[in-house]
């Protein structure tokens, strides 16, 4: 499959979506297919990290679906430290206390039933039915999502952002592509039989209509430019590579933020249904668990490596009723009638302000593509 830097992406240069340089002085053509000659070897560790996250998250999902299935904290710790490198190798120190809190709460809640009450009490438990059942803390937080989606920011994005300044070789660009959750074929599909997009790449794909504008297209084309420019050490090509990687970093963060917009909208729609039953309410809390987790993960990333400021993050998390796991009041969205949906939607207003999303983008973010 040939990946071509699109005319759309070149048009985005004018509005800051791509590096302002367009091959000026770089002797390497910066359009064409992403080379896959080194990816399998160069990015083997990074690809393996996805498998380790899936292995870490899988028993948490099993416990949500089956009240008879439980896992110990010791078993989770073993999964967290398994492999070389392990998830523990890359975790951002700022996320470790949140991870510990979430795992402790999960172990206490598994196998029990969550009954939302105001004020919150107990240890939480399973909420919902069938495949839409989740282990929810007594405060209303989907604990598996805090672990799983929290890693997207606090491990994978954080590690990529840390490496960007020194990612000067073709192999180092391959590794960043793997941390993003993509591969040289850039399928723009999360269901493809081979080479499907995963992790952040999957969510960037969901925010990007086929053939239309969006983070996936911008990130893909920037990776192509960076990988091709990295084959030369000339000053001009080095500048192109560095600018393209800065675009990757920004759009990666924007993809996570726009996914929060999607989940907040999804939860609000479910909560506004006057006939919403426990299954629909559980699904709404699950949506918000994902939304909260993406930003809790980003919160653990040094502010120098993200666009959103600490103050803006606090505003968004507060609007989502979860300034911290222990301080969350998400449960009130399913105990209070009517739910304060307007207050919840303020999170999206704050996100739009932080990232400068247009009204058209905010509308587009309501849809999964």
Q: Does the pLDDT value for residue 17 go beyond 80? A: no
Looking at the domain assignment, is residue 2 inside a domain?
A: no
1 in a domain, yes or no? no
| The pLDDT of residue 234 is above 90 | yes
- Range of 112's domain? 7-364
pLDDT of residue 1: 38
How confident is the model at residue 15, as a pLDDT? 36
Structure tokens at 161: 């952002």
pLDDT at 158 over 80: yes
Q: What is the pLDDT of residue 212?
A: 86
What pLDDT sits at residue 316? 98
The helix (run of H) or strand (run of E) holding residue 125 is strand 125-129
Looking at residue 23, what is its pLDDT?
65
Q: For residue 268, is pLDDT > 70?
A: yes
Q: Does residue 335 belong to any structural domain of this protein?
A: yes
**Of the candidates 292, 354, 288, 325, the residue with the CA atom closest to the CA atom of residue 152:** 292
Tens of pLDDT, residue by residue over 276-322, are 999 999 999 999 999 999 999 999 999 999 999 999 999 999 999 99
Inside any domain, residue 31: yes
Three-state DSSP class for residue 247: helix
Per-residue tokens: 16 = 């800051």
Q: Is 35 left (phi over 0), alpha (psi -120 to 50) or beta?
A: beta
The answer to whether the CB of 53 falls within 8 A of the CB of 182 is no
Mean pLDDT of all residues belonging to the chain: 93
Please identify which residue in the block is written with the tokens 């949500």. Answer: 64
**Interhelix angle for 235-271 vs 199-206, to 10°?**
70
Q: How many domains does the chain have?
A: 1
pLDDT tens readout for residues 101-146:
999 999 999 999 999 999 999 999 999 999 999 999 999 999 999 9
User: Which residues lie below 8 Å from residue 13, measured CB to CB, with a gap of 6+?
Assistant: 19, 20, 22
Mean per-residue pLDDT, 147-175: 98
3-state SS, residue 304: helix
8 A C-beta contact, residue 331 and residue 118? yes
């Amino acid at each position: 499959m040939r990946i071509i830097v699109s005319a759309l992406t070149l048009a985005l240069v004018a509005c800051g979506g791509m590096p302002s340089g367009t091959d000026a002085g770089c002797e390497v053509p910066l359009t064409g297919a992403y080379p896959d000659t080194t990816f399998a070897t160069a990015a083997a560790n990074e690809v393996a990290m996805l498998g380790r996250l899936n292995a870490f998250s899988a028993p948490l999902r099993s416990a949500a679906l089956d009240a008879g299935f439980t896992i110990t904290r010791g078993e989770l710790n073993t999964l967290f430290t398994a492999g070389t490198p392990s998830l523990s190798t890359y975790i951002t120190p700022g996320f470790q206390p949140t991870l510990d809190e979430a795992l402790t709460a999960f172990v206490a809640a598994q196998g029990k039933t969550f009954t939302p009450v105001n004020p919150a009490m107990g240890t939480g438990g399973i909420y919902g039915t069938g495949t839409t059942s989740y282990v929810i803390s007594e405060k209303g937080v989907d604990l598996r999502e805090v672990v799983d989606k929290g890693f997207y920011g606090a491990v994978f994005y954080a590690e990529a952002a840390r490496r960007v300044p020194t990612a000067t070789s073709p192999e180092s660009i391959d590794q960043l592509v793997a941390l993003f959750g993509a591969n040289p074929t850039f399928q723009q599909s999360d269901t493809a039989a081979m080479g499907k997009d995963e992790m952040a790449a999957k969510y960037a794909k969901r925010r990007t209509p086929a053939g239309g504008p969006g983070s996936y297209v911008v990130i893909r084309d920037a990776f192509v430019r960076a990988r091709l420019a990295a084959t030369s050490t000339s000053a001009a090509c080095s500048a192109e590579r560095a600018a393209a990687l800065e675009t990757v970093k920004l759009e990666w963060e924007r993809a996570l933020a726009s996914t929060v917009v999607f989940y907040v909208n999804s939860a609000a729609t479910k909560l506004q249904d006057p006939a919403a039953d426990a299954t629909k309410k559980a699904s709404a809390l699950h949506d918000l668990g994902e939304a909260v987790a993406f930003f809790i993960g980003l919160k653990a990333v040094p502010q120098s490596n993200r666009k959103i400021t600490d103050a803006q993050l606090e505003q968004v998390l507060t609007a989502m009723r979860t300034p911290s796991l222990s301080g969350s009041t998400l449960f009130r969205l399913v105990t209070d009638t009517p739910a304060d949906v307007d207050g919840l939607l303020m999170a999206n207003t704050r996100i739009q302000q932080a990232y400068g999303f247009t009204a058209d983008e905010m509308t587009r973010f309501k849809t999964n593509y």
